[in-house]
Structures are given as C-alpha cells and as structure tokens.
Structure 1
Amino acid sequence: MIEVFLQTLPFFGVIGLGYSAGRIGFFGAEATAYLTLFVFYFALSAMLFLFAARLSIADVLDWDFVFAYLSGCIVVYLIATVVSVIQGKSVAEGAVEAQCAIIGNVGFLGIPMLALLLGDAAVGLIMVVLAIDLIVFSSLIVILITGSQDGKVGLKTLRTVGLGLVKNPLILSIGSGLLFASLSITIPKPAEEFLTILGGAATPGALFAIGASLAGKSAERVSTAIWLSICKLGLHPLAVAIFALLVFDVPSYAAGVMVACAALPVAGNVFMIAQNYNVAPARVSAAILFSTVASILTLPLVIAWVTSL
C-alpha cells in the first residue's frame, strides 16, 4: 500500500501544484480553460491516437469486459437516481448526480496514471472504458436533460448527441488510431515523433489543468458531494468488481484495470455539462473537489488491491 501510495504521489503532486497556482491567482480561470483545450484537443488526442494505432480491435474489444463494466455502472447509476428521486429532485438533477456517481476522470488522470502503474497493456482496456463513458453515458445525460427540459426527445436532441460524439476528439483519435492499426498503415517516422512529443505534454498538462480547475471549485452542498463521492470512489469500483469477477468471465488483469478506472474521482466534463445546461453546477463542482481530494487515499488502496490480483 505504501509503495503504491508513493507511486501515485507525484501525480497528485502535479495536481496540487496546479491547484496552488490557481489559488494564488498565478494561473487564472482563462489560462486553465486554454490549457484544458490544448490537452483535450491536441496532447491527449495525440497520445490516444498513438496508443490505438499500435493495437487492434481484437486486442481490446472483449464483450465480457464491456458488459461487466456497463452492468456495474448501471447499478450505481440507478442507485444514485433512486436516491435523487426520493429527495424530490428533478429528472435533470437526477441525471447529473447519477453521472457524478459513475463517470471518472479517465482521460486526464486515468490514462497517464494507470498506464504507468499497471503497464502499457492497460491502455487499450482504459480506452474501452473511456469509449463507453463517452458514447453511452455522455449521450444519456444529454438526452435526459434536454428531454426533461423540452418535454420530449426529438430529432434535435438526437442530432445534438450525434454531433457531439462525431466531434469528440478523444473518440476520433481512438477510432482513427484503430483504423490505422486494422489497415496496417505504418505511421511515418517524423509523424510518429511529432505525435510522441505532442502526446508527451498530455500527462503533466492534464494533471496541472485538473489542479488549476479545482482551485475554482466550491464546497457547497457538502452532504450531496460526500454522498456522490462515496458512490464514485466506493460503490462504483465495488459494483464493477462484482460483475467482472463473479458474474462475467473477465480475466483478472483486465478486471483489475476496470476496477481501477471505476475508482477514479468524478470527471471534470460532468461539470461542463452541468454548467452548459445550468443544472446543479455547484453540486457537481463540490463532488469533483471532494472526490479528487479523497482519491489521494482511496485510489492507492484500490490499485494495491487490483495489482494483487
């Protein structure tokens, strides 16, 4: 446990550096927004493309893996939704809280950290988790929010969801990388070196951006934030572990990667969605802050357990 904690400490150290820079005003909200855009559209996309171009769909697409992860997510999603309904919250608020309960920071934190701690073989599995989060649940939250606000789910909503998926740089980079791999297209050496340099900025840039963005997060709605953090850091990895190890025939290494992904703190893109539709952004902000701080201790525990598998 101590060894794993020490291995994760540098990652959280960079997050802490970004947070400090944001708190003292050295790295403001505008700078954080531009750094996030750079990482999201350029650095992380380059990293994912290179990883995907060295894989094949057969290497990463295991339906037991997909259904185990989906099943664990759906169970926790329903738990968070039921609690929200009992508390008398709207459909849109319930969708946002359920999203907090199952969507972890896979892109900005999971890929750089878990690839180092669990090995390069984990990257393809992490990308499957990321694809499920983006394609299934990012679409679902948009459908639920717009449907509840408009009173129906029409072609406009479906078009918004479809365009969002098509334009998402992470989906595009993974898809195009797998296409290169399936067609056995060799990336020219200068292009590969260019992508390597650009992708190398993803890890420090993403971690620093996480920290700087946390500096602007509020600690309002503490009780809800604590509940959603428990869902994300506790119930989510537990549910995924049960389905992966006891229900579906997922190999122990792949199950460990899946559980580690589920143990990541709430993703920043949930706040972006909540803010865009003006649905409980303060609540999401607090959940991101609480879960990220708590994950400094919980994530090493989970990683220590899955590596023992």
Structure 2
Amino acid sequence: MLEIFLKTLPFFLLIGTGWLAGKTGFFPAQATAWLTKFVFYFALSAMLFRFAATLDIDELFDPGFVLAYLTGSLALWALAFAVAKWRRLPLDQAAMEAHVAMTGNTGFLGVPMLVVLLGPAAIGPVLMVLTIDLVVFSTLVTLLITVARQGRITLSTLIPLARGIVANPMIVSMVAGLIWAKLHIPMPAPLGEFLALLGAAATPGALFAIGASLAERSAERLGPAIWLSTAKLVLHPLLVAATALLIFGLEPYAAGVMIAAASLPVAGNVYILAQHFGVAAHRVSAAILISTAASIATVPAVIHWITKG
C-alpha cells in the first residue's frame, strides 16, 4: 500500500502545487483558464492522438467492456438520481447530481496517471472509459436538463449538442489517432517526437491546472457534496467492479483499469457544465474539491487492491 501511495504522491503533489499557487494569488484565475485551454486543446490532444495512433483498433472495442462500464455507471447514476428525487430536487438538479456521482477526471488525471501506474496496456481501456463518459453521460445530462427547462427535445436542441461532441478536442484527437492506426500509416520520426514533446506537457500542465482551479472552489453545501464525493470515490468503483468481474467476467487487467478509472475524483468539466446551465454550481464545486482532496487516500487504496489481485 505504501509503495502505491508513494507512486501516486507526485501526481497529487503537482495538484497541491497548483492549488498553493492559485490560493496565494501567484497564479490568478485568468492564468488558470489559459493553462487549462493550452492543456485541453494542445498538450492533452497530442497525448491522446499519439496514444490512439499506437493502438490495434481491431482489438480496442470490446462489447463486454463497454457494457460492464455502462451497467455499473448507470446503476450509480440511477441511485444518485433516486436519492436526489427523494430529497425532492427538481429534474435538472437531480440529473446534475447523478452526473457528478459518476463522472471522473479521466481526461486530465486518469490518462496521464493510470498509464504510468498500470502500464501502456491501460491506454485502450482508459480511452474507452473517457469516450463513454464524454459521449453517453454528457449527452444524457444535457438532454434531461433540456427537458426540465423546455419540456421537450427539439432538433434545434440536438444540433448544438452534436456539434459540441464532435468538436470536443479530446474526441477529435482520439478519433484522428484511431483512424491513423486503422490505416497503418507509419509515424514519421519528427512528427512522433513533436507529439511526444507536446504531449509531455499534458501531465504536469493538467495536474497543475486542476490544483489551481481548486483554489477557486468553495466548500458550500457540504452535506450533498460529501454524499456525491462518497458515491464517486467508493460506490462507483465498487459497482463497476461488480459488473466487470461478477456479471460480465472481464479479464482481470481490463477490469482493473476500468475500476481504477471509476475511482477517480469528480471531473472539473462538470462544473463548467453546471455553471453553463446554472444548475447546482456550488454543490458541484464543493464535490470536486472534496473528492479530489479525499482521492489522495482512496485512489492509492483502489490501485493497491487492483495490482495485488
């Protein structure tokens, strides 16, 4: 356990460094926004493209893997939604809480950290989890909030939603990399070195940006935020483990990567979504802050359990 903790510690120290820089005002909110944009559009996209371009696309898509992750995540989504409705929250807030409970920081934290900790073979499963979160669950919460606001779904609603998914740089870079892999195009050495150099900035940049953005978060609405953080850090990996290992019988390594991805704290982009729609922004902000702080202890515990079989 101590060995795993020490391996994950540098990642969380980078987050802590960003938080300290943001909290002291040395790294202002405007700088955080521009660093996040650089990581999102350039460094992380280069990393994802390079990773995807090296995959065997014929072996990447595993229906059992997709169904196992969807089943476990949807079970948690339904539970969080039911708890929110039991608390008599309106549809839009219930949908947002359900989204918070199962959307992990796979892009900015999971991709760089899990590939290092679990090995290069983790690339495919991590990218699959990231794609499901971005396409399936982001679409689901957007549609439910739209129904809550407008009472129905129209073509004018679906077009911007589809455009947002297609234009997401993480999806674009992964799809472009997979097409490159499918066509078996050789990677020119200068291009490979360029992508490796730019992609190397993704890990420190993303982790520093996560920490700096946490400096702006407030710990309001602690009760719901603690519940959502517990659901994300504890219930999500447990439910995914149950569906992956007990129901679908996935091979241990792929199941382990999926469980590790499910154990990640709440994603920062959920706050952007909550702020955009004006739904439970303070609750989401507090859940991101609490889950990220608590994940310093919970993520190493999950990875220790995975790596020790």
* Range class of TM-score, shorter chain: over 0.9
The answer to whether residue 130 in structure 2 is matched with residue 130 in structure 1 is yes
Deviation of the 1:146 alpha carbon = 1.6
2:183 counterpart residue number: 183
Instruction: Give the secondary structure class of the aligned counterpart of 2:25.
Output: coil
Determine the C-alpha separation between the residues in 2 that align with 1:231 and 1:204.
27
Deviation of the 1:151 alpha carbon = 1.3
Give the letter aligned to residue 213 of structure 2. Answer: S
2:140 counterpart residue number: 140
The answer to whether residue 198 in structure 2 is matched with residue 198 in structure 1 is yes
Name segments (4+ residues, structure 1) moved above 3 Å.
none
1:160 counterpart residue number: 160
1:210-229 aligned within 5 A: 210-229=210-229
Determine the C-alpha separation between the residues in 2 that align with 1:71 and 1:94.
19
2:231 counterpart residue number: 231
Determine the C-alpha separation between the residues in 2 that align with 1:112 and 1:53.
16
Contact 1:4-1:303 at 8 Å conserved across structures: yes
Percent of residue pairs bearing the same amino acid type:
57
Moved more, 184-193 or 255-264: 184-193
Deviation of the 1:147 alpha carbon = 1.8
2:6 counterpart residue number: 6
2:22 counterpart residue number: 22
Where structure 1 has 5 or more consecutive residues not aligned to the other structure, the ranges are none
The answer to whether residue 245 in structure 2 is matched with residue 268 in structure 1 is no
Determine the C-alpha separation between the residues in 1 that align with 2:240 and 2:108.
21
Deviation of the 1:71 alpha carbon = 0.2
1:40-59 deviation digits (Å, cap 9, x = unpaired): 11000000000100112223
The answer to whether residue 81 in structure 2 is matched with residue 81 in structure 1 is yes
Contact 1:228-1:287 at 8 Å conserved across structures: yes
Instruction: Give the secondary structure class of the aligned counterpart of 1:294.
Output: helix
The answer to whether residue 36 in structure 2 is matched with residue 36 in structure 1 is yes
Determine the C-alpha separation between the residues in 1 that align with 2:160 and 2:88.
28
Where structure 2 has 5 or more consecutive residues not aligned to the other structure, the ranges are none
Determine the C-alpha separation between the residues in 1 that align with 2:156 and 2:146.
10
Contact 1:147-1:157 at 8 Å conserved across structures: no
Instruction: Give the secondary structure class of the aligned counterpart of 2:249.
Output: coil
1:151-182 deviation digits (Å, cap 9, x = unpaired): 11111221121001110011111111010000
Instruction: Give the secondary structure class of the aligned counterpart of 1:121.
Output: helix
Instruction: Give the secondary structure class of the aligned counterpart of 2:120.
Output: coil
Give the letter aligned to residue 211 of structure 2. Answer: G
TM-score by length of 1: 0.99
Determine the C-alpha separation between the residues in 2 that align with 1:144 and 1:269.
18
TM-score by length of 2: 0.99
2:173 counterpart residue number: 173
Contact 1:265-1:291 at 8 Å conserved across structures: yes
Give the letter aligned to residue 101 of structure 1. Answer: A
Determine the C-alpha separation between the residues in 2 that align with 1:86 and 1:160.
32
1:105-147 deviation digits (Å, cap 9, x = unpaired): 0010001111111001001110000000001001111111122
Deviation of the 1:249 alpha carbon = 2.4
